[in-house]
Amino acid sequence: MTAASEMKALRRKLLRWYRANRRDLPWRRTRDPYAIWLSESMLQQTRVETVIPYWERFLARFPTVEDLARAPLDDVLTLWAGLGYYSRARNLHRAAQTMVERHEGRVPDDGDALRELPGVGRYTAGAVASIAFDRAEPIVDGNVARVFARIFGIEEDVKSTPVVKRLWQEAAELVRGASPGDFNQALMELGATVCVPRGPRCLACPVSEHCVAYREGLTQSLPRKTKKAPPRPVAAVAGWMERRGQVLMVQRPAEGLLGGLWELPGGDLLPDEEPASALARCLRERMGLDVPGADELGIIEHVFSHLHMRVHVFRCKAPEGRVRRRDFAAHRWLAPEAIDTLAIGGPTRKALRLLGQVR
């Protein structure tokens, strides 16, 4: 069998397997490009089971590009809260506004135009163009890279520049033909359900006879990746303070970690600094407030891809002075039960749980 005929056979078998075995996911029941773009944006680094209810709530609240573009960013972030990687929500909002300004409120139908949108990279552009518009655009994500590394027996680091280039070349070659959207989804489905990172189900694989790793006993050792550095430890403090029955919340700047989200006021704990002293310093320097006393309730931990955060959580006595904030985008005094109306990230949600303010 020639290389070209083997690729055609692989493609044909994979499509046949996908159509018989694909999972019934809600975004596979629509051809609405907006709904498909939304699903692909949410699925980046997030499990399917987690995404489904968020996707359904987003479509119910913002059923069109125009609805999303017109919405206040705070509303978008609030609906996104708990899904993580909040830059995706900010980019989603900006991209919707760009579509209204440049594309008459429609999702562009080709890869080049899609890649010009905020937050839309090569993978997302390829997925949306192929699935929503049947364009022969390639995709490579973690699942596809793993499938290709095993099928083609690639033993070099899949994150290295030469290998990444090869993966995209292979994807571009394979996507050519009928039903490019189904084919790309078949690749992703194979990686998500059969060619999994540990314990791949090779006996259930429709293309195992084309797989170098299966033939040579390398499925457990491929793909090869450079080991990631462990998350950097970061210590911080946060304080719950009430004045006349209202609690103070602050909003982080739009850009950066947890950008645009609301949290309890506080800040970083400096090396060799006592947590209570750090809280008093942060509230004075960043909020212009003096707190006559505070009790530490405990420590919450939250792990990001690059940070391991430990936050000392305090319940403070009523603060003295008038708020003169620095570093934060906004602040609000509000009733404790109204905190649910704010866009809040994982660390703050854990702190509120520790404080008995369960969300």
Q: Which of 6, 40, 104, 337 is catalytic?
A: 40
| 84-to-79, 109, 270, 321 alpha-carbon distances in Å | 11, 28, 26, 35
Q: Which of 167, 170, 172 is nearest to 130 (CA)?
A: 172
Task: Give the separation between CA 219 and CA 242, rounded to whole angstroms.
Answer: 57
Among the listed residues 74, 20, 104, the one whose alpha carbon sits nearest the alpha carbon of residue 251: 74
Q: Is 301 a catalytic residue?
A: no
DSSP 15-72: HHHHHHH----GGGG---HHHHHHHHHHHTTS-HHHHHHHHHHHHHH--SHHHHHHS-
* Eight-state DSSP code of residue 85: -
User: Which among 338, 296, 289, 297 is positioned nearest to 318, based on CA atoms?
Assistant: 289
Residue type, 100: V
> What ranges in the chain are assigned the alpha helix state H?
3-21, 33-43, 48-61, 65-70, 73-80, 87-102, 111-115, 122-133, 142-151, 161-175, 180-193, 212-216, 275-287, 346-354
Query: Any idea which residues carry the catalytic annotation?
Result: 40
